[in-house]
Amino acid sequence: MPIYEYRCQDCKALFETIVTSAEASADVVCPKCSSSIVKKTISASSFRISSGSSSIPSGALSGCSTKSGFS
């Protein structure tokens, strides 16, 4: 299950919560003030793309590295 980051629109608290695919964002409440007026934020991912047994090195897909083998 994915972890999503939200910001409370009432108290401006930033928090994370696990949301199942069956749940909607409307079911999420702020743990600080219990408000249901929350907005999903964009956060950095915490995964790596892997191909088979080797991972693609960071920067290989950014277009900044000439040694990555991608053109």
CATH number of the 3-44 domain: 2.20.28
Q: Please give the chain's pLDDT, 71 residues, in tens.
A: 678 899 999 999 999 988 876 656 668 899 999 999 999 988 666 666 666 655 555 555 555 555 555 54
pLDDT value of residue 50:
65
pLDDT value of residue 54:
54
The answer for residues whose C-beta is within 8 angstroms of residue 52's C-beta and 6 or more apart is none
pLDDT value of residue 48:
64
pTM beyond 0.75: no
- DSSP, residue by residue, 21-58: TT--GGG---TTT--S-EEE---------EETTEEPPT
